[in-house]
Every structure is written in structure tokens, then in C-alpha cells.
Amino acid sequence: MSATYRDVKADILDKITRGTWAPGSLVPSEVDLAETYGCARATVNRAMRELVEDGIIERRRKAGTRVRMAPVRQARFAIPIVRKEIEDQGAAYRYALVSRAVATAPDWLRARLNLAGGGQVLHLTCMHYADGIPYQFEDRWINLAVLPQAREADFAQTGPNEWLVAEIPFSDAEISFLAVSADAGLAAHLGCAPGDALFQTERITWWQGAANTFVRLTYRRGHRMTARY
């Protein structure tokens, strides 16, 4: 008697993975399941909500709950701060500012960030090292219309990433993963040969509707990003 929501979730998941409840089939209603497991409906409801969250089942009022035909396989990636990423690997972290310039946003950036014409941006390039070895090259553009205080910030000691996290702790973002061929500059910074295939991420973040930064992070040769799901 008296199952917990974890018990209920585990049992239902088991029935689904073992095929007792096939993809597309109808799952008993919450009331029935509550009786089956001898618990309150709220308990069943919580188990079911988590299964929806996990992409295992689909629910619709009146129509009931069904096992998904094609499970939505989804992975969650933690987007780490570079320093933490490196330190978690047990390596020593070092940061270096490569260049810094205030400029008018180039056309491609205005299009990406949906900026008005003539917008001023702060363009930074930096390097992140793990145990002295190049780890990541950072190419960052900060919208000075949204973050005028960036103009006065000192990025010689602290990377723009950590500065931004302190300045704007929570924001919306869009991230892309892709592969690029190393040009001469990247090759020099990351200690690889021109033409080498490198893993790159691009990220745009917004705060209260306005884009505040665009960043392109290029990792050293051989880097991979891993997740479990």
C-alpha cells in the first residue's frame, strides 16, 4: 500500500520499457492507477507529469494518456563557464586578453543581434588555457547600447564571460554547435595546423528582449562535448 510518486514512476517506466505497455497504447487513467497503487491521485499525477517531462508519454484531457510512438530523445547539456570546465578536469586555468576594441557593429552582427544601425559594440578576443596549453579561443561582441558599463570594465584579469554572469546573471540564449576549419589566426592561437577541423559553439544571449552579446567559442583540436540522457 501507499506507493510514493517515485515508485509509481518507476513501475510505469518499467512497464513501458519492457513492452507491457506498447508505444501508442493507452495508459489507465489517473483515478484507476491511484486505486491500483493504493495512493492519492496527486501522487500518480506527479509521476505522470515527470514522464511527460522525460518525453516518455503524451497526455491530453479527455483523450487520456498514451505511450509516445517515437520517444522524444532529448539531452540536457550544462553550459559551463570555461574556468570551471577546466578546473573540473583538474587542470590549472589561465586567461589572457588578446584584443579589445570599440567599433560600430558590422552588418553580419547587426543582422544576428537585430541591432539598429550605427550601434556601438565592444569586440574582445581572449584565450583560455588549461595547464598552459591552449584550450579555447573566445571571440566576443558586447552590445554597448544594452551594457554601456562594459566600456569601463577591465577585461585584462577577468574574462568577459564571468563579468557578464555577474552583471546579468540570468538571460535567454540561443546556442549552436558546428565544425569549422581552422584559419591562420585560429591555428596560431590554438596551436594546430591551418585547415584542422575544430569544434565551435556560437551563442547569442538576450536580456529583457534585447540582445546583449554574441560569442563564438572555438575549442582546441579534438575537443568533444558529451552528455547522457
CA angle at 29 for the pair 24 and 31, rounded to the nearest 5°: 165
Q: How far is the CB of 38 from its own copies (least distance, A)?
A: 21
Q: Which is nearer to DNA, 62 or 73 (CB)?
A: 62
- Pick one of DNA, its own copies, none as the site partner of residue 4 (Cβ within 5 to 8 A by kind): DNA
In the complex, least distance from residue 49 CB atom to DNA, rounded to whole angstroms: 6
Q: End-to-end CA distance of the chain, in Å? A: 31
CB under 8 Å to 28, separation ≥6 — which residues? 36
DSSP summary character for residue 168: S
Residue 172 binds which entry of its own copies, DNA, none, with Cβ cut-offs from 5 to 8 Å by kind?
its own copies
Q: In Å, what is the CA distance from 202 to each residue of 42, 137, 156, 209? A: 42, 12, 23, 19
Q: Residue 60 or 73: which CB sits closer to DNA?
A: 60
Q: Which residue number, 120 or 167, has a Cβ lying nearer to its own copies?
A: 167
Residue 81 interacting partner from DNA, its own copies, none (CB closer than 5 to 8 Å by kind): its own copies
Nearest Cα to Cα of residue 5 among 53, 69, 77, 73: 53
What residues contact 59, with CB distance under 8 A and at least 6 apart?
A: 48, 52, 65, 66
Decide: is 184 part of the binding site for its own copies (CB under 8 A).
no
Q: By CB under 8 A, tell whether 148 contacts its own copies.
A: no
Residue whose CB is less far from its own copies, 117 or 169? 169
> Per the structure block, which three cell numbers stand in for 79?
553550459
In the complex, the smallest distance separating the C-beta of residue 163 from its own copies, rounded to whole angstroms, is: 13
Can you read off the three cell numbers belonging to residue 149?
Answer: 558599463
Residue 73 in the binding site for its own copies (CB under 8 A): yes
Angstrom distance (rounded) from CA 58 to CA 60: 7
> Side chain identity at 224, as an amino acid letter?
R
20 binds its own copies (CB under 8 A): no
| DSSP assignment letter at 45 | H
State yes or no: residue 17 binds its own copies (CB under 8 A).
Answer: yes
Q: Which residues bind to its own copies, rule: CB under 8 A? A: 13, 16-17, 19, 23, 56, 70-79, 81, 84, 165, 169-181, 195-200, 202, 207-208, 222-229
